[in-house]
Amino acid sequence: MNIYNDILQILLNEEDIKRITADIASKISEKYYDGRLLLVCILNGSFMFFSDIVRRITVPCTIDFIRVSSYGESTVSSESLNFMSDISTDAANKNVVLVDDILDTGLTMYKLRQYFLSEKNAASVSVCTLLDKPARRVYDIKPDYAGSEIPDEFVVGYGLDYNDGYRNLPYIGVLKSEIYKKDV
C-alpha cells in the first residue's frame, strides 16, 4: 500500500509551501518586533505548517500548542469546539497569532479568537492559515495571513488528514473521491 496512489492531484507542492511559509513568516516578523509575539499551533493539523513558519520568524517570540477538534471522525463540521488540551504559558498582553492548516467553516478560529481575547486577555489575536476555503465559510472570520485560497475539494497532506491518515504527505493533495466515498 502506498498513500501517494490515493492522491488525485497536487494543489500545493513543497516549493509552493516553502515560498508561502517564508512570505507569511516575513510579514509576521515585520509586524511584531516588540517581543510580545506568541505563536499558537492548533493541533493536530497545523504541526508541519507551524514548524515551517516558526523556523522562519526572525523576531523574539514564544510558542505554545492548543489541541482542539471540530470534526470528530466525520467530514461534516459539528457546531461546537472540543477542547482537548490548552496552552501552558500565559497569553495575557501578548500578540497572539493562531496558526492553523485550514480555515473551513471558520468555527475553530472564530471560537479560539474569542477565547484568547476574553478568557486569556491577549493584547491582540491574528489568524494565520495555510489554506482558505471561503466557499465553506459559516462563521464571520477572515484570515490575517493566508497561504492559498482553494476550491471546495477534499484535501489531505502536510498535516491535514482523512480519518487521521495522510498527514505525513509532504504536500497538499486532493484525495481521490473513491477513498472517502467507500467509507460513507
Nearer to ligand PRP, 94 or 167 (CB): 167
CA distances from 2 to 7, 12, 68, 131, 169 (A): 10, 20, 29, 25, 11
Q: Measured from the CB of residue 25, what is the shortest distance to ligand PRP in angstroms?
A: 19
Q: Measured from the CB of residue 127, what is the shortest distance to ligand PRP in angstroms?
A: 10
Any idea which residues carry the catalytic annotation? 104
Residue number closest to ligand PRP, CB atom: 45
Q: Which helix (H) or strand (E) holds 4?
A: none
Name the residue with cell 482523512.
162
CA distances from 118 to 41, 110, 158 (A): 19, 12, 31
Nearer to ligand PRP, 95 or 129 (CB): 129
CB neighbours (10 Å) of residue 24? 24
Contact residues: ligand PRP, CB under 6 A: 42, 44-45, 69-71, 77, 100-108, 161
Q: Measured from the CB of residue 57, what is the shortest distance to ligand PRP in angstroms?
A: 21
Nearer to ligand PRP, 31 or 67 (CB): 67
